[in-house]
């Protein structure tokens, strides 16, 4: 069953305040992002050029920072200042094979950071850690997202390759923090594709699929089981479980590019007997050309390579055939396929168990790679029905939305695994003071362990000791195996305390976590013991089943998922009393008599111990380092914003100056500007204008933003009276018409009203107005007429390049006053009863019952007030001519 509209998968939970969730598929060559926000269609985020993907590049062009394609396009001109594909070396030790490999494909000047990781150096000597470069990209994407969301975006889910070690995961999280975002989760990219696959499908029986992702830098295969969830297992929905992963860290599209470039280099060198590798810019050009030729060869059997003025002024041209290219890559064919076999092996499945192989990643479009996969799994198993480019980011966004719990999503449960064996080791407590310490090693999180697993280790120790966490196998050549060390301190005091209080054989318990995002950590360490409580209260408590289990103990048991209750005990001969018995503490309500009796005599207690973790190999960034990095990024942001403001002020001034010059230069025609300005004014503006122009040319590059504004304000002040005259001339006819219209309407009204009033008085009928009111209106009208007449005549004599003597705004205001007074009388209703008269017209009287009579008094009452207001203008009227004379 398919659901084509992605929106139908997402419904909002209305009452909560919703925050957006950002998902980033952080690739070596391309970055894709997606934003989950109520009211915003769920889709891939577009960059400012409306492209659905962003090239992974950060660069500087004469001090201006560039991102995406803007940066990548500068790579051959500024090879020292444009950095691409640095995801290769994120979290990698400086002295590792991947870094030497990266140095082969990137012209970047690499430096070693204080943390023994990789940084880059710009041509001006500025150094950036790869985490900082990555953070700049994340911040750039955050800005894109915020402009779409129209609000702050904080929470982010980022895809990582499943083979990422803790060092690399730390580097991503550090970059996220530097960028000002908050990590909701890291999700393995194959897993997010699986989630995206499950989003639009319903499974009736369990199915296995392989997500085959050949990307720019590496190739991954993930075996995923899709199982329907029924009512018992929390359904309806789908359980997406990763069963096995295979990978090759260094086989991907970029390696194909590198081999293609090698063909081009060899061709050039052979033809011209030179070494083009000495020329950084030429190598950067060839790098771009290699990608282009590779793409052509995906669809054609041969391609023409052509680079103008490549080096030594030589225009390079060569014909490259697909056969040549494939011959240079023969060894890679098996490397592209091997991850599939490895993934099946770790999952314990064969190809027969697999329903389909989903191809994702740009490199799966290369015919050689597609052919290799087809011949390995059979063409009928290949599924091209997922969006090869966007399913990782869409799956990650969906995953993020379900994690944030703010969206009601289709029910998809995800279990992912860690693929590296993690061991913990420690030195056994010395049996005699002189004996050499014996090291004990336990495979604590074997490959295949599910994310979110907690394990508790129990130690019979009396002194502080250290746990060493290591990868059992080499993660990648040159990587350290030691992840971190955690010293558990304060043991002697805590154990002493428990012993003094009567605890029998107190122990130390450490809780270790393999998080959903793939991080290993020590979450807690405690000293623990059962304290015999011989006091009367203790005994009474026991009798009545009083709770004696400490709350900490209860939580730690709860936190351990039932399927993972894998409490390991120390392998020492004098091991702690069977760890399971102590941790499987019955809850206080349990009333098994045996336990009850035992508990009556024992009081358990825990004392929290301090855990001090150190990173002897590749440390994550410290809080201070991250703060400093964030400060550096903010400083560039602020600098760029100021630069943009200045640039804008300068451009605005410049175009204003040109516009003004055009107005002044139009000498021959009778332009409004000319009509409304005096020679002297134009002269003054011209002088100031030329002065501003030369200032702009001489000092424009070093001037401050405010100076650009000042120049413009000065000129605008000179231009303003001219514009005003012109505007007044334009507006005058309309204003005059308006005034005359009210003059005319008032006169018409007065004429009719006076007739009606006379007729009504004769017929002894109630009237809407009094004679005084009409007289007052007429007086106002006459004054208005006089004013209008006088000033219109005066205005007629004013030249177009002189300031007007009456403002249209005042004309409108005066007409408005007349209009209001007219309308007040005009809208008045006929009073039902003529108040002072008791004997009224027979027609009117019977139709108004007594009740209505009272109500009808309302309007006349208002009217009584009205004459007072109409009388008020008298003193005003006297003032008005005065004001006009001024
Ligand atoms: C995998 O396939 C084999 C052979 O067809 C079969 O025996 C086995 O049960 C399958 N395993 C699963 C988990 O479906
Ligand atoms: C043991 O620890 C508890 C709680 O921290 C404290 O109140 C008590 O005084 C300590 N006893 C000894 C003997 O140190
Ligand atoms: C012991 O447990 C049983 C069943 O769980 C319950 O019915 C009974 O009331 C409990 N007795 C006491 C004393 O708590
Ligand atoms: C005045 O305005 C009225 C209505 O807008 C219009 O019909 C009339 O032509 C105008 N007269 C002048 C002189 O602009
Ligand atoms: C004058 O009286 C006539 C007839 O009753 C009425 O139609 C007209 O609206 C009145 N005029 C005014 C200005 O109230
Ligand atoms: C006001 O209106 C009357 C009648 O329409 C007209 O004779 C007079 O000239 C107008 N006055 C002015 C100042 O426009």
Distance of alpha carbon 257 from alpha carbon 263, whole angstroms: 10
Ligand 5 pocket member 745 (CB < 6 A): no
**At residue 660, does pLDDT exceed 50?**
yes
Distance of alpha carbon 561 from alpha carbon 551, whole angstroms: 17
User: At 485, which helix (H) or strand (E)?
Assistant: strand 482-489
Between 277-286, 522-531, 670-679, 865-874, the lowest mean confidence (pLDDT) is in 865-874
pLDDT of residue 598: 52
Identify the DSSP state of 830.
Answer: P
pLDDT of residue 580: 31
Residue nearest ligand 4's atom 4 by CA: 737
Tens digits of residue pLDDT in 532-571: 766 655 555 545 544 333 333 333 333 333 332 333 333 3
Ligand 5 pocket member 753 (CB < 6 A): yes
Q: Is 275 left (phi over 0), alpha (psi -120 to 50) or beta?
A: beta
* pLDDT (mean) for 838-849: 41
The domain 422-532+562-573+599-617: what is its CATH number?
A: 2.60.34.10
Distance of alpha carbon 91 from alpha carbon 93, whole angstroms: 7
Q: 795 C-alpha vs ligand 4 centroid, how far in Å?
A: 20
Residue nearest ligand 1's atom 14 by CA: 353
Between 241-255, 295-309, 828-842, the lowest mean confidence (pLDDT) is in 828-842
Q: 398 C-alpha vs ligand 6 centroid, how far in Å?
A: 74
**At residue 432, does pLDDT exceed 50?**
yes
CB atoms within 10 A of CB 193: 32
CB atoms within 10 A of CB 837: 11
Q: Are 306 and 293 in contact (CB under 8 A)?
A: no
User: In degrees rounded to 5, what are phi and psi of residue 812?
Assistant: -65, -40
Q: In sequence order, what are the residues at sequence separation of 6 or more whose Cβ sits closer than 8 angstroms to the Cβ of residue 658?
A: none
pLDDT of residue 502: 84
* pLDDT (mean) for 131-152: 94
Q: 790 C-alpha vs ligand 6 centroid, how far in Å?
A: 12
Q: 743 C-alpha vs ligand 5 centroid, how far in Å?
A: 19
pLDDT of residue 37: 87
Identify any residues that bridge with 160 across adjacent strands, giving them in sequence order. 188
Distance of alpha carbon 395 from alpha carbon 70, whole angstroms: 28
Ligand 5 atom closest to Cα of residue 752 = 13
Ligand 1 neighbours by CB, cut-off 6 Å: 349-350, 352-353
Ligand 5 pocket member 756 (CB < 6 A): yes
Ligand 6 pocket member 744 (CB < 6 A): yes
* pLDDT (mean) for 175-201: 95
Ligand 6 pocket member 790 (CB < 6 A): no
Mean pLDDT of the chain: 83
Q: In sequence order, what are the residues at sequence separation of 6 or more whose Cβ sits closer than 8 angstroms to the Cβ of residue 147?
A: none
Distance of alpha carbon 80 from alpha carbon 121, whole angstroms: 8
Tens digits of residue pLDDT in 440-479: 999 999 999 999 999 999 999 999 999 999 999 999 999 9
Distance of alpha carbon 856 from alpha carbon 860, whole angstroms: 8
**At residue 69, does pLDDT exceed 50?**
yes
Do the bridges between strand 314-321 and strand 465-471 make them parallel or antiparallel, or are there none, so unpaired?
A: unpaired
Q: 671 C-alpha vs ligand 4 centroid, how far in Å?
A: 26
Distance of alpha carbon 625 from alpha carbon 393, whole angstroms: 29
pLDDT of residue 435: 74
Distance of alpha carbon 413 from alpha carbon 226, whole angstroms: 10
Task: Determine the Cα angle at 583 with ends 577 and 584, to 5°.
Answer: 110
Q: Are 404 and 184 in contact (CB under 8 A)?
A: yes
Tens digits of residue pLDDT in 703-750: 888 999 999 999 999 999 999 999 999 999 999 999 999 999 999 999
Distance of alpha carbon 373 from alpha carbon 339, whole angstroms: 10
Instruction: Give the model's confidence band at 593: pLDDT under 50 very low, under 70 low, under 90 confident, else very high.
Output: low
Tens digits of residue pLDDT in 301-331: 999 998 988 888 888 988 999 999 999 999 9
Contacts 24+ apart (CB under 8 A), 118-123: 118/86, 118/89, 118/90, 118/92, 118/94, 120/83, 120/86, 122/60, 122/80, 122/81, 123/78, 123/80, 123/81
Q: Compute the Cα dihedral for 274, 279, 285, 286 and give only its sign.
A: positive
Residue nearest ligand 1's atom 6 by CA: 353
Q: Are 464 and 487 in contact (CB under 8 A)?
A: yes
**At residue 605, does pLDDT exceed 80?**
yes
Instruction: Give the model's confidence band at 62: pLDDT under 50 very low, under 70 low, under 90 confident, else very high.
Output: confident
Q: Compute the Cα dihedral for 98, 100, 103, 108 and give only its sign.
A: positive
Ligand 6 pocket member 740 (CB < 6 A): yes
Angle between helices 166-178 and 130-149 (to 10 degrees): 50
3-state secondary structure of 249: coil
The ranges assigned to domains in the chain are 4-253+333-415, 422-532+562-573+599-617, 625-720
Largest CA distance in the chain: 135
Check residues 1 and 781 and name the one with the higher pLDDT.
Answer: 781
DSSP-assigned letters across all residues of 575-600:
PPS-HHHHHSPPPTT---HHHHHHHH
Q: Compute the Cα dihedral for 105, 107, 108, 110 and give only its sign.
A: positive
Distance of alpha carbon 247 from alpha carbon 305, whole angstroms: 32
* CATH class of segment(s) 4-253+333-415: alpha beta
Q: 126 C-alpha vs ligand 3 centroid, how far in Å?
A: 73
Identify any residues that bridge with 23 across adjacent strands, giving them in sequence order. 34, 157
**At residue 849, does pLDDT exceed 50?**
no
Do the bridges between strand 21-26 and strand 155-160 make them parallel or antiparallel, or are there none, so unpaired?
A: parallel
Alpha helices in 308-412 (DSSP H): 322-327, 330-347, 367-377, 391-404
3 state SS for 412-440: EEEECECCCCEEEEEECCCCCCCCCCCEE
pLDDT of residue 863: 38
Between 126-135, 608-617, 771-780, the lowest mean confidence (pLDDT) is in 771-780
Residue nearest ligand 6's atom 12 by CA: 785
Q: 749 C-alpha vs ligand 4 centroid, how far in Å?
A: 19
Instruction: Give the model's confidence band at 702: pLDDT under 50 very low, under 70 low, under 90 confident, else very high.
Output: confident
Identify any residues that bridge with 34 across adjacent strands, giving them in sequence order. 23, 44
Instruction: Give the model's confidence band at 842: pLDDT under 50 very low, under 70 low, under 90 confident, else very high.
Output: very low
Query: Distance of CA 681 to CAs 670, 673, 691, 722, Å?
Result: 16, 11, 15, 9
Ligand 2 pocket member 497 (CB < 6 A): yes
Q: Which fold has domain 625-720?
A: Substrate Binding Domain Of Dnak; Chain:A; Domain 2 (1.20.1270)
């Amino acid at each position: 069953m398919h659901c084509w509209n992605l929106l139908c998968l997402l419904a909002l939970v209305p009452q909560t305040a919703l925050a957006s969730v950002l998902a980033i598929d952080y690739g070596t060559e391309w970055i894709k992002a997606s934003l989950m926000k109520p009211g915003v269609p769920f889709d891939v985020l577009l960059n400012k050029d409306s492209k659905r993907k962003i090239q992974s590049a950060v660069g500087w062009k004469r001090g201006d920072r560039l991102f995406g394609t803007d940066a990548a396009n500068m790579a051959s001109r500024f090879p020292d200042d444009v950095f691409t594909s640095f995801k290769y070396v994120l979290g990698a030790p400086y002295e590792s094979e991947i870094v030497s490999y990266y140095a082969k494909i990137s012209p970047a000047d690499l430096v070693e950071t204080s943390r023994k990781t990789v940084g880059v150096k710009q041509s001006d000597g500025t150094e950036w850690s790869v985490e900082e470069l990555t953070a700049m990209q994340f911040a750039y994407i955050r800005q894109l997202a915020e402009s779409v969301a129209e609000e702050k975006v904080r929470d982010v889910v980022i895809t990582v390759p499943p083979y990422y070690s803790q060092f690399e995961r730390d580097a991503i999280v550090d970059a996220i923090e530097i960028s000002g975002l908050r990590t909701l989760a890291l999700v393995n990219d194959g897993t997010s594709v699986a989630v995206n696959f499950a989003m639009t499908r319903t499974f009736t029986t369990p199915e296995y699929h392989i997500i085959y992702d050949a990307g720019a830098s590496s190739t991954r295969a993930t075996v995923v089981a899709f199982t329907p969830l029924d009512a018992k297992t929390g359904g309806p929905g789908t359980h997406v479980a990763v069963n096995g992963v295979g990978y090759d860290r260094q086989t991907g599209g970029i390696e194909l590019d590198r081999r293609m470039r090698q063909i081009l280099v060899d061709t050039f060198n052979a033809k011209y007997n030179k070494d083009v590798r000495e020329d950084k810019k030429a190598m950067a050009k060839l790098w771009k050309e290699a990608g282009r030729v590779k793409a052509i060869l995906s669809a054609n059997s041969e391609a023409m390579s052509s680079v103008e003025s490549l080096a030594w002024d030589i225009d390079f041209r060569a014909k490259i055939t697909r056969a040549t290219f494939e011959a240079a890559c023969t060894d890679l064919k098996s490397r592209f396929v091997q991850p599939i076999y490895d993934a099946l092996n770790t999952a314990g499945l064969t190809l027969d168990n697999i329903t389909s192989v989903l191809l994702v990643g740009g490199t799966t479009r290369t015919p050689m790679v597609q052919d290799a996969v087809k011949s390995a799994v059979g063409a009928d198993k290949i599924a091209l029905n997922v969006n090869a480019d966007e399913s990782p980011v869409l799956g990650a966004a969906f995953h993020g939305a379900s994690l944030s719990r703010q969206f009601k999503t289709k029910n998809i449960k995800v279990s992912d695994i860690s693929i590296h064996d993690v061991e913990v080791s420690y030195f056994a407590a010395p049996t005699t003071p002189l004996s050499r310490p014996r090291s004990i090693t336990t495979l604590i999180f074997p490959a295949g362990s599910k994310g979110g697993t907690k394990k508790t280790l129990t130690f019979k120790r009396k002194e502080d000791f250290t746990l060493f966490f290591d990868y059992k196998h080499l993660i990648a050549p040159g990587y350290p195996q030691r992840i971190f060390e955690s010293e558990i301190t304060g043991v002697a005091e805590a154990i002493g305390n428990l012993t003094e209080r009567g605890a029998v054989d107190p122990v130390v318990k450490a809780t270790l976590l393999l998080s959903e995002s793939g991080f290993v950590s020590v979450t807690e360490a405690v000293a623990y013991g059962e304290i015999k409580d011989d006091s009367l209260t203790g005994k009474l408590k026991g009798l009545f089943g009083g709770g004696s289990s400490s709350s900490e103990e209860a939580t730690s048991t709860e936190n351990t998922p039932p399927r993972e209750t894998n409490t390991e005990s120390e392998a020492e001969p004098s091991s702690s009393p069977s760890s399971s018995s102590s941790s499987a503490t019955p809850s206080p309500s349990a009333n098994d008599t045996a336990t009850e009796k035992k508990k009556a005599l024992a009081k358990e207690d825990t004392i929290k111990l301090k855990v001090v973790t150190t990173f002897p190999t590749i440390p994550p960034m410290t809080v201070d380092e991250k703060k400093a990095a964030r400060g550096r990024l903010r400083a560039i942001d602020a600098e760029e914003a100021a630069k943009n403001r200045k640039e804008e002020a300068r451009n605005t001034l410049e175009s204003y100056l040109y516009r003004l010059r055009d107005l002044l230069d139009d000498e021959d025609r009778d332009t409004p500007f000319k009509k409304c300005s005096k020679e002297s004014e134009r002269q003054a503006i011209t002088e100031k204008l030329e002065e501003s122009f030369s200032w702009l040319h001489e000092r424009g590059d070093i001037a401050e933003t405010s100076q650009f504004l000042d120049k413009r304000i000065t000129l605008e002040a000179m231009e303003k009276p001219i514009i005003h005259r012109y505007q007044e001339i334009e507006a005058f006819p309309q204003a005059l018409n308006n005034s005359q219209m009210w003059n005319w309407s008032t006169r018409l009204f007065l004429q009719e009203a006076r007739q009606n009033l006379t007729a009504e008085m004769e017929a002894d009928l109630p009237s809407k107005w009094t004679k005084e009111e009409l007289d007052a209106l007429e007086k106002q009208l006459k004054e208005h007429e006089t004013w209008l007449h006088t000033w219109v005549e005066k205005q007629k004599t004013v030249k177009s390049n002189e300031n007007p003597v009456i403002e249209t705004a005042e004309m409108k205001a005066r007409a408005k006053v007349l209009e209001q007074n007219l309308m007040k009388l005009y809208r008045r209703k006929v009073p039902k009863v003529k108040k002072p008269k008791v004997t009224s017209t027979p027609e009117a009287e019977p139709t108004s019952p007594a009740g209505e009579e009272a109500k009808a008094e309302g309007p006349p009452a208002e009217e009584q007030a009205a004459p007072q207001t109409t009388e008020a203008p008298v003193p005003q009227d006297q003032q008005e001519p005065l004001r006009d004379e001024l």
